[in-house]
A and B are shown apart, each in its own frame.
Chain A
């Protein structure tokens, strides 16, 4: 007996708010995360005013801040800590995994939904609650967290504003755990008939490995968050050493704790976390590149092995964030070696992407522009990570603007560009209409230019020794004086980057009603999601269960009529 018939219309609440349909949940994640990304971006724009004009009041926002409108160090630090937290945990991961993963993994494997639809809904709402708590922390008497997104004790233990951050993190981690269990089970169990592991689109592989990273790596941070909460609320000394002197007085706690314990537990997650940030993006770029070069993805097997190897390696490199904590040469050598090794799969993946383009019939539509830009941008980000992986160089570069530049290159013109590519590419599947290519190009070109305008000079500042998290941008330091003139340039680039997002926002709304109407497969793609109607049918997705007969990237195969063959097309004979 089938108890899941929904012949009667679902109520508004059941259909749109508490839906168990992965597409609705994916859209919920998408809208929420894009709003958080925008908010985190605004925080940065305020910070960058301070950096450009350290002794001038911040316009508009300054009236709310008191003290003549200049950002006090505490406020600046709050903005910094929350910018990082929001962008990573409320922005990118929910967008890359929650939105794209939820919406397109079931479609690309020919499934009617995720394995656990109710759990899926629970994970979205857990994320939502965590997000509300994080934003609410700005308004709490203690204020928002101000010890960096890395929340190092003893500062995080004793500074105000951290408690709600910790509670919010528990909800966010729970959301991620539930979501990743769902994705792994879905990919293992719900692949359509004929869809073997080596016929999976690379996007699905990237989501699969990402989900494993989340399942294994997040819990130690949850443990650490509990410990830090205990320190703050119950008075334990997990991370507080004996004899700690604060403001001239010895802290009245039992002591015996270790700040390093936090760092180990934190980075055990946070390193795999950065791969969580990039892997889904790589998956999206793979799809868009193959589709718009009309060529199979080069080196599919090596891509799959590389991404799997990368996933494993990401668990044994974490202490490269801790080179300056005084570790001995055994530890240091171990982590330097593993860090160098982990660069190899990334290089293989990037190279395979480049080679895919060779000899292709490249279509320069908007998703492709973003996917193409991803390649050199991620390249710069990855290459600039290498000096950071060597302890000798890292001792000079750690905690400088060089690090900020490195990771932003990977995440901003890296992952976020991949996210944009995904939105432009899959918008027709979600809505039945294409986004405007003109507005898309108006979005793309300034974004590319200004991303580089913000982050390239940061390398210069970092090499000169300008530390990160300085509320006045290095004004007080003699060694920074030679590079400070870049601050204004970078800030203006940041604000112009903000303006460049306006065509994108307009495009999303405009195209819903006025975009070019298209059929099921406007890009001529081979993968399964394009077999379903646009948008796919509620709760079941496909008209009938697809059967897979082919590899995922049969583009431009000689001797065939069309330059692409969908995975569902049967083989003759």
Chain B
């Protein structure tokens, strides 16, 4: 007996299992980053007036803006890779997924440049509480990007074999992976102004 509702929706809830599962996971992630944002607020209130704004001047806004645009683009290409599968275009799926992965690499490269330049200037997480929460928030976000890349890479590579045998199931997997990826983008949409612009 197979587990029901892995591909076909349960009539009364209208959902497949993995869709409910991923949204629950994203709910927990909202609380995870929420905990860190709450720490940000608490530390900012506890710091001397204007200290966080001043310490934040050390960050590179143009690079981060570029990163924001890169991540938003990767979000579009991710949803397009799913749409391509819905339109039965496997080649386009691979192309869009590939671009998504490239954008992710680009994002991480820029973050690497940002981090190493900070260390080069003697700025570390231990330097002040702003840098501490900056490195932690962006670091955890970066780890989530890497996680997403591993999943996306698998789905583009060995995992894509499933398209031949169970196309609907595979398309759902891309949608689920997409939900996770959009969430990672969403977190950055809030991280960017909070850390870099305020």
Contacts and interface: CB of A to CB of B under 8 A. Distances in A.
A220 B124 CA distance: 24
21 contacts: A112-B1, A115-B3, A115-B21, A185-B20, A189-B10, A189-B20, A190-B3, A217-B31, A218-B28, A219-B32, A234-B124, A234-B125, A234-B126, A235-B125, A237-B126, A237-B129, A237-B132, A254-B127, A254-B128, A258-B46, A539-B1
**5 tightest Cβ-Cβ pairs between the two chains A and B:** A223-B35, A220-B35, A235-B126, A219-B32, A236-B132
Interface string A193-237: 000000000000000000000011111111110110010001111
A511 to B, nearest CB: 30
B186 interface: no
Nearest to A255: B129
Interface string B6-34: 00001001010110110011011101111
Interface string A42-70: 00000000000000000000000000000
A257 interface: yes
Contacts of A182: 21
A486 B39 CA distance: 43
Interface of B: 1-5, 10, 13, 15, 17-18, 20-21, 24-25, 27-29, 31-36, 38-39, 42-43, 46-47, 124-129, 132-133, 135-136, 140, 165
B131 to A, nearest CB: 8
Nearest to A119: B21
Given A190-B4, A256-B47, A258-B43, A115 B17 contact: yes
A1 B15 CA distance: 22
Contact of A265 (B4, B35, B127, B132): B35
Contact of A185 (B17, B39, B127): B17
A116 B19 CA distance: 12
A226 B36 CA distance: 9
Contacts of B1: 112, 539-540, 545
Given A219-B32, A258-B42, A238 B21 contact: no
B34 to A, nearest CB: 7
A261 interface: yes
A177 B26 CA distance: 11
A117 to B, nearest CB: 7
A219 B28 contact: yes
Given A189-B10, A237-B132, A268-B35, 17 more contacts: A112-B2, A113-B3, A115-B20, A185-B17, A215-B24, A215-B31, A217-B31, A219-B28, A223-B39, A224-B35, A235-B126, A236-B129, A236-B136, A238-B129, A256-B43, A256-B46, A256-B129
B28 A181 contact: yes
Residue among B2, B17, B20, B35 with max Cβ neighbours from chain A (10 Å): B35
Nearest to A265: B35
Nearest to A182: B21
A92 to B, nearest CB: 21
Nearest to A186: B17
B39 A238 contact: yes
Contacts of B42: 258, 260-261, 264
Contacts of B29: 219
A1 B164 CA distance: 13
Nearest to A261: B42
A236 B4 CA distance: 48
Nearest to A253: B126
Contacts, number: 138
Q: Is the interface of A mostly helix, strand, loop or mixed?
A: helix
Given A227-B39, A234-B126, A258-B42, A188 B13 contact: yes
B27 A216 contact: yes
A189 B132 contact: no
A264 B46 CA distance: 15
B2 A2 contact: yes
Contact of A254 (B4, B18, B34, B129): B129
A480 to B, nearest CB: 37
B132 A184 contact: no
Contacts of B24: 180-181, 184-185, 215
Give the interface residue-count category, chain A.
Answer: 35 or more
B71 to A, nearest CB: 22
Nearest to B27: A215
A330 interface: no
A247 interface: no
B136 A117 contact: no
A50 B128 CA distance: 43
A181 B25 contact: yes
A188 B18 CA distance: 12
A14 B29 CA distance: 31
A476 interface: no
A325 interface: no
B3 A235 contact: no
A222 B46 contact: no
Interface string A527-549: 00000000000011000010000
Find the residue from A189, A237, A264 having the highest chain B CB count within 10 A.
A189
A4 B34 CA distance: 40
Given A181-B24, A216-B28, A235 B2 contact: no
Nearest to A112: B1
A119 B36 CA distance: 26
B191 to A, nearest CB: 14
B103 to A, nearest CB: 26
A389 B131 CA distance: 38
B34 A219 contact: yes
Nearest to B42: A261
Contacts of A117: 3
A531 to B, nearest CB: 15
B106 to A, nearest CB: 26
A180 B25 CA distance: 10
Nearest to B132: A236
A181 B180 CA distance: 15
A517 B15 CA distance: 42
Given A117-B3, A219-B34, A189 B47 contact: no
A113 B1 CA distance: 9
A541 to B, nearest CB: 8
A120 to B, nearest CB: 11
A189 B13 contact: yes
A238 B38 CA distance: 12
A261 B43 contact: yes
Given A185-B20, A188-B20, A177 B28 contact: yes
Contacts of A261: 39, 42-43
A215 B28 contact: yes
B39 A112 contact: no
A257 B124 contact: no
Interface string A80-98: 0000000000000000000
Given A117-B3, A185-B20, A190-B3, A230 B136 contact: yes
Contacts of A224: 35, 39
A223 B27 contact: no
